[in-house]
Structures are given as C-alpha cells and as structure tokens.
Amino acid sequence: MTNHPAPPSFAVIPGRSVQAALAGREREVIELVESAYRLHGSGDTVNPPSYFLRFPDRPKERIIALPASVGGDVKSAGIKWISSFPDNVSAGLPRASAVLLLNDLGTGYPYACLEGSVISASRTAASAALAATQLSRGRSSVGRVGFIGTGLIARYIHTYFAAADWPFERIGVYDTSADRVRGFSEQLRTTSRTPIVAFDSAQEIIRASDVIVFATTAGTPHVTDPAWFGHAPLVLHVSLRDVSTEVVLSAANFVDDVEHCLKAHTSVHLTEQRTGSRDFLDGTLYDVLTGKVTPPTDRTVLFSPFGLGVLDLALGAFVHGECSRTGELSTIDGFFSELETHGTTVRPEVRDV
C-alpha cells in the first residue's frame, strides 16, 4: 500500500482572529519569542537575508520579504511580506501592513495566510520586552521609560512591558506630532496609573530616561550627540536608524543577528561602513540569554533588533494552532487546483492500493 501525500487545506486568518488568539497572552508570546531566539542561536532555523523592494521615485517606501524556516516544535516554513509607507500616517492609515504565509514542511504547500501586522507588532514588542529584561539585569534604575515615536509599535511595546511587570515609575513620550503624543498619552492613561510626561525634544526625554524606546519612522540618524546618553541608559533601538555612528561607538552594542542587522543602512551598518570593522558589536541577544556575554551596567547599552522572520513564523504557527483548536479556522475548499500529475490525481484522504 502506497500513501500519497495530500495537499493541505488552506486557511485565511484575518486580523481580528489573530488578535483574539493573542489577547491576554503576552507572557506566553514572550516565552515563545525567547524559544525562537534560542532555536535560531542553536542553528535550528533558516533565516535568509531579507529582500527589500524599493521604488526609485518614492525612496521612503518599501516592501520587505522575510523568508524563514523554524525547527523545534514549530516545524514550519514561510514568508512575511510587509510594507512600510510612512505617508500613510498623515492619511489616517497605519504605516505598515503585512501578510504572513505558512508552508507545510512535508509537501511544501502553503497552508495558511494570516494578517501579519498584528503578528509583526506582537513579536517586535515581545522581543523588546525580552531584551529589556535580559539587558537590564544588575541596573539600579530602570523605572523611567521614554518612548520616542508614539505609533502602533510603541503601544504594543508598552503593553508587553506591562505584561512583563516592568517597574514603571514614569512614562515619557515624545513625537514630532503633537496629535500622536496626545493620542498615545490618552491611550496609556486608560491602561496604566503610571505618571505620563510629554517632552518637547528628543534630547530632553533621552536625558531624563533610564530606558529609551526608539519606535519611529526615521530613515536617517537624527540623534547625534553621545553626551545625551551620559547617564548610561538602556536603549531599545527598535526603529534601527535613529542614532548616529558616534552614539553607536559610545555604547555597548547588542543585536538579534549580526548579518541581518549590518545592512540596509541601519545605524550599526553605517558604523561598520565608517569603521571598516564589526569590533564595536558586543554580542547578540542569544549570547546574553545563554550567559556567554554579560551586558555592562555602567555604559549605555544599545539593542538594535533587525527583526527575524523566524519570530513571525513561530508566532504565526502558534496563532494557526490556536484558531484550529478553538474552531475559528476558516479554510477555503478547493483552493489548490491542477493536482493531477502523470495521470494520477491526488485527492485528500485517497490512497492507492
């Protein structure tokens, strides 16, 4: 008896289902992201370079493809296709939109398409919360947190910090848009009793914060003075292009993946180009998780995460599993056609004897 593989069913999981699967499970997502980092660090993933689709007449806009494969308990491959159109914000739309495709490792067939922006924001926030916890060990002051950039990613990062029981003393906010500062502050006040202070400049909020979160749409460095960081804060450089080479060189630098982060004109990539060396990098988050490297407490620590597709895949596979478990998985019958090959038609649950 010979078993022929059957094409998997194909599911479409909208954003509302993704949100329902992840709601209130921030701690679990942080653990899942940590597990994915450990799989990646141990070599149980494939995470090729991201591909940037750019438009010559619109240099600020891009669409990025992040292919990846994850082993361990995830056992899935796929790709995230995420766009960044900063001008959307002025039109009342989020900057980023995304879809995530998951592929079956047995047949190669895609088996799900998920709304990807919620997954991307959740894994980014979980990564930031995990990194902040690991990189701040031994620091005496971490309660004054400053957000530079007040969009969707900043909101998710605050949510995940709160879920990780971050010891907030004061939340600072700064953005070039007063309306976004006001909206972000109002949203925080609905979920937190922590005092919230709006700052008038990046310099002021940096000097007044123990932990700084960059979550902007900046395409080139706009923070250039290392003296602003003289109090040795922890900096989560989520948006990657905010600080100058001088600031990078004054800090202890950690990334999620060296090869991925040193490209696309990120601040650390510009630093490598200027110095001709990678010696300014102190390690990866995996190095910290495994105890190979201990972050300093008397220097600025700068974490620059490029964002790994393996994190999206791990979280996407989790969401797919949750939707299947709860009966919320919507499949499309007959999505795949042309299943006849060499005179043999393969149908689900059909075996040749």
CATH top-level class of 10-119+309-345: alpha beta
Q: What does the pLDDT average to over 9-17?
A: 94
**Both tokens assigned to 179:** 């309306």
For 113-150, the pLDDT digits (tens) are 999 999 999 999 999 999 999 999 999 999 999 999 99
Phi, psi of 161 (to 5 degrees): -60, -45
Element (H, E) at 237: strand 234-237
Which pLDDT belongs to residue 328? 87
Angstrom distance (rounded) from CA 223 to CA 203: 8
> Which phi and psi angles does 338 have, rounded to 5°?
55, 50
Instruction: Report pLDDT digits (tens) over 30-87.
Output: 999 999 999 999 999 999 999 999 999 998 899 999 999 999 999 999 999 999 998 8
Q: H helices within 98-224, ranges in order?
A: 117-135, 152-163, 178-191, 202-207
Confidence of residue 1 (pLDDT cuts 50, 70, 90): very low
What stretch of H or E contains 319?
Answer: helix 309-325
Q: Does position 110 have pLDDT exceeding 80, yes or no?
A: yes
CA distance linking residue 27 with residue 155, whole number of Å: 16
Query: Does residue 349 have a pLDDT over 80?
Result: no
CA 152 – CA 31 distance, rounded (Å): 22
Q: Is 50 exceeded by the pLDDT of residue 242?
A: yes
Least confident of 1-10, 67-76, 165-174: 1-10
Residue-level pLDDT at 298 = 96
Could you give the residue range(s) of every CATH 3.30.1780.10 domain in the chain?
10-119+309-345
Instruction: State the average pLDDT over residues 307-316.
Output: 96
Q: Does domain 125-304 have CATH number 3.40.50.720?
A: yes
CA atoms within 13 Å, Cβ hemisphere of 348: 9
Measured between alpha carbons, how far is 281 from 124 in angstroms, rounded to an integer? 21
pLDDT of residue 185: 96
Structural tokens at position 29: 């997502």
SS3 23: coil
> What pLDDT is recorded for position 345?
52
Residue range(s) of every CATH 3.40.50.720 domain in the chain: 125-304
Whether the full predicted model's pTM is greater than 0.85, yes or no, is yes
Closest CA to 184 of 212, 153, 214, 209: 153
pLDDT at residue 23, rounded to an integer? 94
DSSP, collapsed to helix, strand or coil, labels residue 10 as strand
Residues facing residue 100 across a β-bridge = 80, 114
Q: What is the pLDDT of residues 270-307, one digit of tens each?
A: 999 999 999 999 999 999 999 999 999 999 999 999 99
Residue 190 has pLDDT above 60, yes or no: yes
